[in-house]
Chains A and B, each alone.
Chain A
């Protein structure tokens, strides 16, 4: 495993006793006439209610959303009545949640603030998803969108087609990931997808942008996910349980990657992810990869060290990815089965990972889960997903 430090890098400091608490996953809806502000407000309310910490004692706010325009985090702070001394707006799509949490962690560790509300939320009014696609990035506006406006489906289709040919991955292999996640989702009362999914149904679904078919795609929806980040002593004083942040990485626009993407930026930092946590891939009890498409999950299984590059297909054939299996993966059902609430989707794996190591995941709980890995991926601004990130969390027992 690599560990690419910079020319001026020093050893990174541990997060000491930073914890992530109060995982909030509001039930999603397919379409919502409410604003993003409404969803963000509901998430903040759930953080307050769930933690017993009053809004006036939340002195940090980190927001990720595509649909607050013209407002950004500061406009939302005013709208929600938050007076904070640390404010961040993380517009990194599927990498937003984990990136936001790792920034908040350093803020509370250093005492720049004490309690950060990290919220990822989006509304989905009819037409708003198309609007997000049309205005996603300058390179995309110039040189991708006018070519049929296939959106992320078409862009990821180009990556998937090359990846599948290069590494001998079949649609059945990718279907195993989607089918296992649906099995998990049936135990999550908040998942939008309520029906079982068979491999036959996956294989026979209508094509969207070959080789991407319907059940490779997430359903855009409205919803919100959130957590609090604070120091362990704060959490103890408030009587709330927290998941310890053992390590984290992020990487953007990794330049070593070929123009035809076959791996994400994790490959630059995965060694540090494990060494900082003092564990290895075999120690991880439950894994939440970023699942905008099953092919990206498979890429992460390789890039995060669970198997080598090119072995992803064999890995999913030889492991059971369900909650009760030997490689519990995307235990809430993930975005593929819960829906993708815009930037809220970047928090889906994180909130579930926190619940898993705290033992509060209910019907999706993996027995004895104490170490969890969650990863994020986002920002297909042109032809590659530019942003990658990951965290390792542990429960009180670790």
Chain B
């Protein structure tokens, strides 16, 4: 057991038990999503139940990372003090070829309409963050 991290080391966003299993994926440099064992649908964000067939057998599986940036914005205001110090922040809505849509940080040069690949990278707190490149 390690000591409980100080508040300064806690992420500046709510804890997410359901999303935590992506963190190990990000640390390994893989791109994987939940995939329904019964109907093969890829799922994101983290689900406990498949909305297509109501299966609860939803293991992680390597997923094709290609998709399209359907829209983007540049965040210039936030109520969160941590992110206030890091503005502006560019994000996009990516529709993956394998089905799910996801919010991702945009690499420089990636923008609306672009074909991109998504990867998970750990942020400063070890949480898996999606990046579009």
Contact = CB atoms under 8 A, between A and B. Distances in A.
Contacts of A133: 79
B101 interface: yes
A148 interface: yes
A138 B73 CA distance: 22
Contact of A147 (B18, B46, B105, B112): B105
Q: Chain A, interface size: which category?
A: 35 or more
Nearest to B80: A149
Interface stretch (B9-17, B24-32, B58-66): B9-17
A398 B127 CA distance: 59
B1 interface: no
A141 to B, nearest CB: 5
Given A143-B19, A143-B45, A149-B83, A210 B73 contact: yes
A177 to B, nearest CB: 20
B73 A209 contact: yes
Nearest to A207: B76
A316 interface: no
Interface in A205-230: 206-212
B107 interface: no
Contacts of B55: none
A259 B93 CA distance: 10
Given A141-B14, A143-B102, A260-B93, A149 B78 contact: yes
Which of B13, B78, B103 gathers most chain A CB within 10 Å?
B103
Contact of B79 (A146, A151, A159, A162): A151
B112 to A, nearest CB: 7
A153 interface: yes
A219 to B, nearest CB: 13
A148 B87 CA distance: 8
A150 B73 contact: yes
Given A142-B16, A142-B45, A145-B14, A130 B91 contact: no
Contact of A383 (B18, B74, B89, B101): B101
A141 B89 CA distance: 18
B129 interface: yes
A150 B70 CA distance: 18
Contacts of B11: 146
A161 B73 contact: yes
Nearest to B99: A259
B79 to A, nearest CB: 3
Contact of A161 (B45, B72, B86, B95): B72
B77 A153 contact: yes
A159 B93 CA distance: 9
Contacts of B103: 143-144, 147, 383
A131 to B, nearest CB: 9
Contact of B70 (A147, A148, A259): A259
B102 to A, nearest CB: 6
Contacts of A129: 79
A229 to B, nearest CB: 34
B93 A158 contact: yes
A195 B102 CA distance: 40
Contacts of A207: 74, 76
Given A141-B19, A211-B73, A260-B93, 7 more contacts: A130-B80, A134-B80, A138-B45, A143-B102, A158-B92, A208-B76, A209-B77
Interface of B: 11-14, 16, 18-19, 44-46, 70-80, 82-83, 86-87, 89, 91-93, 95, 101-105, 112, 123, 127, 129-130
Q: Which 7 residue pairs across A and B have the least CB separation, nearest first? A: A130-B79, A148-B89, A149-B80, A157-B73, A150-B75, A143-B45, A142-B19
Interface of A: 129-130, 133-135, 138-139, 141-151, 153-154, 157-159, 161-162, 165, 206-212, 259-260, 382-383
9 contacts: A142-B16, A147-B103, A148-B86, A149-B75, A158-B71, A161-B73, A209-B74, A210-B74, A260-B93
